[in-house]
Every structure is written in C-alpha cells, then in structure tokens.
C-alpha cells in the first residue's frame, strides 16, 4: 500500500489546562475519505484546528506526518501551501476583499510554492467559472467581499468552492453540514464527490450521519473524550445513527 497522506501518532493537545486530545492515532491514505464522528465536546473540531495549525491549541505529545513531513513544525500558511485545506465550521467574513482577489492571491501563493507561474487574469477567471459551477455558486459572488453578507449555506458552499479552486492534497471538512438545509447539503455533497480523486484524501468531521448518506466514507471513526475509540466501515455510521453514541461510549468506559 502507498504511504499515508496523513499519519497521526499519539497526538495530545490542550487549551489552557484542559487536555482535549488524549492520544489520537490515525492513518489516511490517498484516495480515501475518512469520517470522524462523535458527540459534542469529544475533540473533533480541536483535531481539525490542531492539524491546520491554530495557535490556541498546544500540542503536548505525539507526531503528525503530512506526506512524510513533520506537520507540527510548519506555520499555518506552510501547511496550506503543502496542500492541507480546512473547510471552516464558521467561515469568517473579510471586509473589502473580493472573493476573486482573495482566491487569486491564495492560488498564486500555492503555485509559487510549487514553482509554477501565477495564472493570468483570463486563465484564472475561466477556472473560477468552471469550479463555481461545481457547487452552483453564482459568478456575481466573485466580486463580493469574502463571505460578507452570505447566508450560512452560501458560506459553506463557498468553502467547498475554495476547496475546488485550491485542489488540496488533504481536505478537512469541519462540520460542513451543520446549519445546512437538505438542498444545500446535497449541493455541498455533490461538490465533494466531484472532487474525490485517487491523489486526494478527505477527513470529514460531522456530528450527524445525515451527510454520510450523500458522501460515502471509506472509513468511519468515533472520537470520544479525545481518543478514537472505534473504527469501522461505512455501515458503522448507520449503526451509530440507530443506536446512538452511548452504544460505543459505554463499551469504551468498560475498556478504559
């Protein structure tokens, strides 16, 4: 089997005095889509934030390799340039910066990192139009400030649009389904499915199984109290839906 895109070993992280991740282990291989599920407060979003390099979290132990490189040593922008993308649970608004300008800057930073020439205005516009269609984003959004005045659903679609533009090696979706109605959920799922490829991996963090009806995972993990306590095939998500998290967490208490 190929080398994993992401290898997490015994990852511990805390905010202030509170330890949130308590020994996470995970291997994600090219082409795979892993779902991370778990009850509120289990550490799902913390895992996403730590991988993206958010400074509020202190890693106290463990190792993360991204395509074999030490991820934890990199600045957030370096991680992004190496191909790590986070679709935010709460995308921020950036006043005065159009989506087009923002994405052009981001894409050209990534291209520079890869030793490629920046895209010219024409190539860039064509790429934007093509990728926007994937998530049914209207081209009038391009000239609007990033996320400013967008509805919750528009913001989430914009995250997937950015994912499509930046073509990451590893895409982490942090509760992208939260706050979406069923139509928006389908659009987002169609976008993600179109972007799945043998060279790319996804880490989909979700509280509900609902999203996984549309984005079918290769592997499902249950994160609980900062540890992955159960791993299984896609059917695990359905089982969790039917039986609730207590079904695994109770077993876990015994195992602990």
Partner 1 sequence: MSEHVDILDQLTASDYEYKYGFESQIEEEVVPPGLNEETIRLISEKKGEPEWMLQWRLQAFRYWQTMKEPHWANVRYTPIDYQAISYYAAPKRKTQPRSLDEVDPELRRTFEKLGIPLHEQEVLAGVAVDAVLDSVSVATTFREKLQSLGIIFCSMSEAIREYPDLVRKYLGSVVPPNDNFFAALNSAVFSDGSFCYVPPGVRCPIELSTYFRINARNTGQFERTLIIADEGAYVSYLEGCTAPMRDENQLHAAVVELVALAGAEIKYSTVQNWYPGDREGRGGIYNFVTKRGICLGESSKISWTQVETGSAITWKYPSVILKGDNSVGEFYSVAVTNHRQQADTGTKMTHIGRNTRSRIVSKGISAGYSQNSYRGLVRVNPSADGARNFSQCDSLLIGDKCGAHTFPYIEVHNPTAIVEHEATTSKIGEDILFYCNQRGIDTETAVALIINGYAREVLSKLPMEFAVEAQKLLAISLEGSVG
Which of positions 161-200 make contact with partner 1 (CB under 8 A)? Answer: 162, 166
Q: Using CB under 8 A as the criterion, what x/- string covers residues 210-229 for binding partner 1?
A: --------------------
C-beta of 102 vs 214, nearer to partner 1: 102
Q: What is the CA radius of gyration of the chain?
A: 18
Report if residue 119 touches partner 1, rule: CB under 8 A.
Answer: no
The H-or-E segment that residue 190 falls in is: helix 182-195
Are the beta carbons of 219 and 191 closer than 8 angstroms? no
Q: Could you write out the DSSP letters of every residue in 6-55?
A: EEEEEEEEEETTEEEEEEEEEEE-TT-EEEEE--TTSSHHHHHHHHHT-T
14 binds partner 1 (CB under 8 A): no
Residue from 66, 88, 142, 150 touching partner 1 (CB under 8 A): that is 88
Q: Three-state DSSP class for 173? A: strand
Binds partner 1 by CB under 8 A, chosen from 9, 14, 113, 207: 113
Helical (H) or strand (E) element with 164:
helix 152-166
Tell me how far apart the alpha carbons of residues 35 and 23 are, in angstroms, rounded to a whole number.
Answer: 18
Please select the residue that binds partner 1; options are 92, 122, 242, 255, rule is CB under 8 A: 92
CB of 234 to partner 1, least distance (A): 28
Residues lying near partner 1 in the complex (CB under 8 A): 52-56, 75-77, 79-81, 85-86, 88, 91-92, 94-98, 101-103, 105-106, 109-110, 113, 145, 162, 166
């Amino acid at each position: 089997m190929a080398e994993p895109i992401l290898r997490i070993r015994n990852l511990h992280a805390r905010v202030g005095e509170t330890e949130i991740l308590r020994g996470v282990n995970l291997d994600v291989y090219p082409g795979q889509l892993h779902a991370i599920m778990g009850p509120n407060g289990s550490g799902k979003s913390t895992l996403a934030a730590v991988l993206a390099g958010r400074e509020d979290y202190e890693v106290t132990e463990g190792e993360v390799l991204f395509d074999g490189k030490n991820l934890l040593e990199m600045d957030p922008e370096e991680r992004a340039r190496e191909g790590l993308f986070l679709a935010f649970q709460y995308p921020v608004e950036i006043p005065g910066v159009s989506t087009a300008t923002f994405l052009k800057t981001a894409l050209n930073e990534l291209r520079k990192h890869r030793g490629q020439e920046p895209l010219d205005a024409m190539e860039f516009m064509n790429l934007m139009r093509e990728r926007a269609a994937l998530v049914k984003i209207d081209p009038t959004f391009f000239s609007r400030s990033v996320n400013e005045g967008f509805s919750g659903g528009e913001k989430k679609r914009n995250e997937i649009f950015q994912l499509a533009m930046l073509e990451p090696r590893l895409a982490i979706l942090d509760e992208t389904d939260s706050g979406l109605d069923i139509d928006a959920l389908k659009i987002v799922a169609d976008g993600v499915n179109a972007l799945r490829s043998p060279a790319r991996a996804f880490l989909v963090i979700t509280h509900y199984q609902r999203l996984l009806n549309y984005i079918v995972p290769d592997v499902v993990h249950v994160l609980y109290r900062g540890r992955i306590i159960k791993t299984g095939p896609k059917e695990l998500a359905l089982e969790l839906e039917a039986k609730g998290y207590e079904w695994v967490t109770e077993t876990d208490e015994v195992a602990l």
